[in-house]
Structures are given as structure tokens and as C-alpha cells.
Amino acid sequence: MATVLITGASDGLGRALAEDLAAAGHRLLLHGRNPERLAQVAAATGGEVFIADFASLAEVRRLAADVAARHSRLDVLVNNAGVGFEVGSTSRETSADGHELRLAVNHLAPALLTEELLPLLRRSAPARIVNVASVGQQLFDFDDPQHERDFSQADAYCRSKLAMISHTAHLAARLAGTGVTVNALHPATFMATTMTKASGVDAQEPLEKGVAATRRLVDHPDLAAVTGAYFHSEEPSSPSDPLALDDAYTDRLAALTRRLIDASAV
């Protein structure tokens, strides 16, 4: 039985994954920002509730501290929480720290949470980090990191998700030999979730497909030693642009990510 932290567990893929893992006997730590919905998931799965809004990096730090204070081990971290997009929308939003919202929630928050929990994950090794990305991908613009020019929610979402894949590769190299693996995946395309409905796009693939793909990275024994990989559902794949995995690119993105996170701590 593994101890698994799932972010964004109050709805959609996170909730369905929690129910699936609970049925297999895993101990669940459930993160969300809606106490009522999260309480329902906890009642159904026996999971432990952690409330935090990923639009605030201070709350992300508090979440990591709470998890570390309450638990002596963490076997799996599933970075699933995210903000989607509305097709055609050019409405730009910012986080509590002043970052473009999708950059903040989909990339900076999971990067920070992972970093803060690395000591616990290392002590729990073998351990796994699973980053829920997307097939919607766009290279990061280092000249416009906050996406202030020609903004669209869809582009911002795609930038944040490819950044997560690049971060996965960079972190895997850092963690080589520690017993902590990190992989990313596109679980399924426009699953039947609240996020898909809000985007204005019809559902295309069943939620169950995304759950099965994510579950493999959580506890399938054949993937125990796999790290730094990106999967399209259950198939090994490559990001949309090979530059996303170039060492110079991932190093540059990691340095910028660190600066943006550190600036929010001042």
C-alpha cells in the first residue's frame, strides 16, 4: 500500500483517480480548493483532506509543510491540479502573486510543491512523481514569460503544459540515482470533465482512459525504473517540439522558474 498525494482531487481526473486508487487499497492524501467537494471525495475514498489554492504560492508552500508535518513518507506525488481554458478567450487573469494564471497554477505551483516535498520523497524512495500534462503544447517564450503579448487562454495553457514536460526531463536528470522517478503524460484527449465542458469543446475520450494511463505511472511495477519520460496516454511519446527536451532549454526554463517562484516569496 502506497501513500499517494493527488492534487486537484476534488473533481475530474483527480477524483476518478482517487476512487480507483482507493479501491486498490492505497492511502490517499487529497488536495483541492473546494472544501465541500473534497469532503465528498474523502468520504468515498477514506482519504485525508488538504485545502490549498494553487493560485497562491504561499498556499502551495503551506500545503507541502502540512503534508511533511503529518506524514513520515510519501510514495507518489501526482501533480494533477490545473486551470484549463475557454476556446477563443483572450481574457488574461493573474494569480495572487501577479503571475499569469495558467503559468502559476499549471507550472509554477507543481514545480514548487515538488521541490518542497523532495526531501520527503527522497526519504521514501523508491518514490514516483507523476506530472499530468497535455498534448496541447507550445514552447515557452522567454522574452514574454508572463504572456503579456497576443494573449489567448489556449496558448497560455499549452505553454504551461509543455513547460511541465520540460521540467519533468530536467528534474529526472537531477534525481538520477536517488530512487525517485518523475514522468509526465497526456492522459486522454478532452475527457468528460468539468474542465472540458468549461472549455466549450465536446468530450472526445472517456475519463476512464485517462485514469488508466495515469494509474500506470502511479503503481505499475514495469514502470518502477522509468524516469524522464513523456507518455501519450499509455504509449511512450515525444513532446510537440524536440527543443523542449534540449538541455540548454530545460536549464534556462528551470532557472526562470526558480526566479519567478523566489520572487513570490519576497
Cα separation, 94 vs 88, whole angstroms: 18
Is 230 among the residues known to form the active site?
no
Cα separation, 207 vs 188, in Å, equals: 7
User: Are 34 and 10 contacting, i.e. CB atoms less than 8 angstroms apart?
Assistant: yes
Catalytic residue among 54, 85, 140, 157: 157
Judge contact between 34 and 251, C-beta under 8 A.
Answer: no
Distance, CA of 147 to chain centre? 20
Helix (H) or strand (E) holding 261: helix 247-264
What is the spatial distance between Cα 104 and Cα 97, in angstroms, rounded to a whole number? Answer: 8
Residues labelled catalytic: 157
